[in-house]
Structure 1
Amino acid sequence: MKKLLIVAHAPSENTQLMVEAILKGAQHSDIEQVKTSWIPPLETTPEDVLACDAIILGTTENLGYMSGALKDFFDRCYYPCLEVKQGLPCALYVRAGNDGTGTCRAVESICTGLRWNWIRPPLVCRGGWQSTFLDQCEELGMTMAAGLDVGIY
């Protein structure tokens, strides 16, 4: 059984819905060999990352940067995971009120330092709330979990 870890900051009702959509996609009935769990960034430990086979990161755009909670996650988990989790398949989604560029750049820079492998470009949900964000998140969760399930990642 492979483990997919979702480390996502969800401070609002809409961002909570986005996490639930990621989980819904990752737990699709056709995906049989992947166990998915969501742990908020402030609660995620290095041991959680060390035990996973892939990771989806989620954050809000805060002043053109990632959330403080996700930054705290990286501050605590970077060095314990640096040498052990090279090549970890990863993905990112951002709930951006503006354009999300600075947020993506910051997270991508840290993940590049960790030598994690992006499975796709970041999903950036820009502007006012749209219900299509949930479909995009569900697809992201399903893509990552299905790839793990069949051994692509």
Structure 2
Amino acid sequence: MNATKSLLIVYHSMTGGTRQMAEAARAGAQAESGITVELLHASQAGADDVLAADGFLFATPENLAAISGQLKDFFDRSYYAVLDRINGRPYASLICAGSDGHNAARQIERIATGWRLKPIAEPLIVCTHAQTTQAILAPKHIDADELERCQALGEAMATGLVLGVF
């Protein structure tokens, strides 16, 4: 049997929606034996965590049509320290958006392309439809069916890592 594989989930969340999505993905990944899963807030994750992982899930709210500043800070702090050292490793992304999410997804894709990571799924975007200041700043509750999608992505990522599919 192969050595235990590792999945790093890096997230940022201000109102709880993205955290719920990341936790659901972690639960799905942990259902697979033969994998360790580390869930880290973007402020706590760094280059050493990236180098130690076999695959990645990046989770962020879309703030002003971009990834969150905390996730961007994680990428800024880690980018050059791991460049050309993680080529070909798989990744996926989780986006919690008020209306769209695609710009944040594209931003992660550009960074991952620079790291030469391999996407294993389309970005999973959950739309909360928060459009007013009050709704945007309010604590989020992600619907169970959306959390199931996040859990399934985590499980698929873990299974693929363990089986050596990617």
TM value normalised by structure 1: 0.94
Alignment check: 8 A CA contact 1:99 1:127 kept = no
The one-letter code of the counterpart of 1:71 is K
1:48 corresponds to which letter in structure 2?
A: D
Gaps of 5+ in 1: none
> What is the deviation of 1:131?
2.7
* Counterpart Cα distance in 1 of 2:17 and 2:40: 17
CA RMSD of aligned residues (A): 1.1
Listed one character per residue, the Cα deviations across residues 2-36 of structure 1 (whole Å, up to 9, x for unaligned) are 111000112223332222211110011xx211100
**Contact conserved, 2:126 with 2:146, CA < 8 A, in 1?**
yes
After TM superposition, the structure 1 = structure 2 runs for residues 34-45 of structure 1, keeping only pairs within 5 Å, are 34-45=35-46
User: Are residues 1:54 and 2:55 paired?
Assistant: yes
Q: Where does residue 98 of structure 1 map in the other structure?
A: 99
Q: Name the TM-score, length of structure 2 as normaliser.
A: 0.87
User: Are positions 1:21 and 2:34 aligned together?
Assistant: no
Structure number with greater Rg is 2
Gaps of 5+ in 2: 130-141
Question: Among the aligned pairs, what percent are the same residue?
Answer: 39
Shift of 1:132: 1.7
Residue deviations 1:33-72 (CA, integer Å, cap 9, x gap): 1100101111101000001000000000000000001100
Match 1:6 to one of 9, 12, 16: 9
SS in 2 for 1:36: strand
Residue 151 (structure 2) aligns with = 138
CA distance in 1, matches of 2:19, 2:45: 17
AA in 1 matched with 2:19: Q
Alpha-carbon contact 1:26-1:143 (below 8 Å) kept: yes
Q: What's the counterpart of residue 89 of structure 1?
A: 90
Q: Residues of 2 paired with 1:140 and 1:101: CA distance? A: 18
* Number of residue pairs the alignment of both structures matches: 151
Correspondence list, 1:96-135, <5 A = 96-128=97-129, 129-135=142-148
